[in-house]
């Protein structure tokens, strides 16, 4: 395993890559705030795909962060994870945001819009306008709010010319919204380590276990809590495959992952249609 470096890709980060936080978060450095409740809101990124527990359910960065915060806060700490794979931004806002606000937690994470940028019907102006309203709503009860600039996933996926500008627009809106509302921003886009395919699942869209650990580490550093150094370590970048082997891998990926995704789009289905939130209520972390 090797430690990663990060380059500034429009965000803010320190030279080591261990802390990638917007300038507006500087006041949190070294802070030892003891949040006693955390609600995670979003889609598959926050649900934890593809970082699986032995029983096949997903862990992911939010579970890792909650476990660390619980160790910091003690037995009274409570955690809920409302995220469901496949959810579009409007669904997250309608189904999860009111529930999260009603729980009155100390900390809320919000990450949505990643599925929307992949859709033909993506409307950036509407989404960005609603994003500001959502963060205002999440902050209205006094909770600290975590926001994310998404990592660059498009280098390994088709449609890069169409989707990459959409991701940049969304990430810009996240940064501006975080500054306006005093939210805590975790800038994954500024971290070139996420160009390493070892941080991604075989479907090329969801994070691997190593990817989720790195996200968790960056979140904890942004919160001023700190993390195990190994969470920020990543496997060496694999050597490039020969052309024929790479094309064969692309064909396997298209059959196993792209084709089912296209079929769901054509039939109006979602990977989360039969999925419920894994932690719908605030509750203690149980080992």
- Show me where the domains of the chain are located: 2-236+243-281
**pLDDT of the residue at 214:** 96
Positions in the chain short of pLDDT 50: 1-31
**pLDDT of the residue at 246:** 65
**pLDDT of the residue at 265:** 56
**pLDDT of the residue at 114:** 87
**pLDDT of the residue at 242:** 81
**pLDDT of the residue at 157:** 66
- Integer distance in angstroms from the first to the last C-alpha of the chain? 27
Length of the chain: 287
Rounded Cα distance between 31 and 125, Å, is 36
Tokens of 59: 């862990």
The alpha-helical segments, DSSP class H, found in the chain are: 44-47, 60-73, 89-95, 97-102, 124-139, 160-181, 209-222, 243-253, 259-267
Reported as a single tens digit per residue, the pLDDT across 212-226 is 999 999 999 999 998
Reported as a single tens digit per residue, the pLDDT across 168-199 is 999 999 999 999 999 999 999 999 999 998 89
Q: Which CATH class is domain 2-236+243-281?
A: alpha beta
């Amino acid at each position: 395993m090797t430690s990663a470096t990060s380059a500034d890709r429009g965000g803010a980060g320190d030279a080591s890559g261990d802390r990638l936080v917007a300038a507006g978060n500087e006041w949190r450095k070294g802070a030892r705030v003891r949040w006693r409740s955390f609600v995670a809101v979003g889609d598959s990124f926050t649900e934890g795909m593809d970082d699986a527990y032995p029983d096949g359910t997903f862990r992911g960065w939010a579970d890792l962060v909650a476990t660390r915060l619980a160790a910091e806060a003690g037995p009274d700490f409570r955690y809920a994870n409302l995220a469901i794979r496949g959810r579009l931004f409007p669904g997250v806002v309608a189904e999860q945001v009111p529930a999260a606000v009603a729980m009155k937690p100390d900390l809320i994470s919000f990450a949505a819009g990643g599925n929307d940028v992949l859709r033909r019907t993506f409307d950036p102006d509407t989404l960005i306008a609603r994003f500001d309203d959502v963060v205002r709503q999440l902050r209205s009860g006094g909770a600290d709010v975590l926001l994310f600039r998404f990592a660059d996933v498009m280098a390994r996926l088709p449609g890069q010319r169409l989707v990459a500008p959409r991701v940049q627009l969304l990430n810009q809106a996240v940064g501006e919204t975080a500054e306006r509302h005093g939210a805590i921003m975790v800038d994954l886009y500024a971290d070139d380590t996420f160009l390493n395919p070892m941080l991604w699942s075989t479907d090329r869209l969801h994070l691997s276990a190593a990817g989720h650990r790195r996200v968790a580490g960056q979140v904890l550093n942004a919160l001023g809590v700190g993390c195990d150094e190994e969470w920020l370590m990543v496997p060496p970048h694999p050597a490039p495959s020969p052309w024929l082997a790479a094309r064969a891998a692309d064909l396997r990926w298209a059959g196993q992952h792209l084709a089912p995704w296209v079929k769901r789009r054509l039939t109006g289905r979602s990977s989360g249609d039969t999925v419920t939130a894994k932690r719908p209520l605030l509750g203690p972390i149980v080992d």
